[in-house]
Amino acid sequence: QVQLQESGPGLVKPSQTLSLACTVSGGSITADFYYWNWIRQPPGKGLEWMGAITYSGSIYYNPSLKSRTSISRDTSKNLFTLQLSSVTNEDTAVYYCARSEYLIAVVTTKDEFDYWGQGTQVTVSS
Average pLDDT over residues 76-87: 98
What pLDDT does 9 receive?
Answer: 95
Query: Residue 86: CB partners within 8 Å, gap ≥ 6?
Result: 15, 17, 68
What pLDDT does 32 receive?
Answer: 86
pLDDT in tens, 30-54: 988 999 999 999 999 999 999 999 9
Q: Cα dist. 106→2, 33, 39, 59 in Å?
A: 23, 19, 10, 16
Q: Please state, rounded to an integer, the average pLDDT across all residues of the chain.
A: 96
> DSSP readout, 39-57?
EEE-TTS--EEEEEEETTS
Percent of the chain past pLDDT 70, that is, above it, reads: 100
What pLDDT does 27 receive?
Answer: 94
pLDDT in tens, 88-103: 999 999 999 999 999 9
Lowest model confidence (mean pLDDT) among 6-10, 30-34, 59-63:
30-34
Using an 8 Å Cβ cutoff, are 80 and 28 in contact?
no
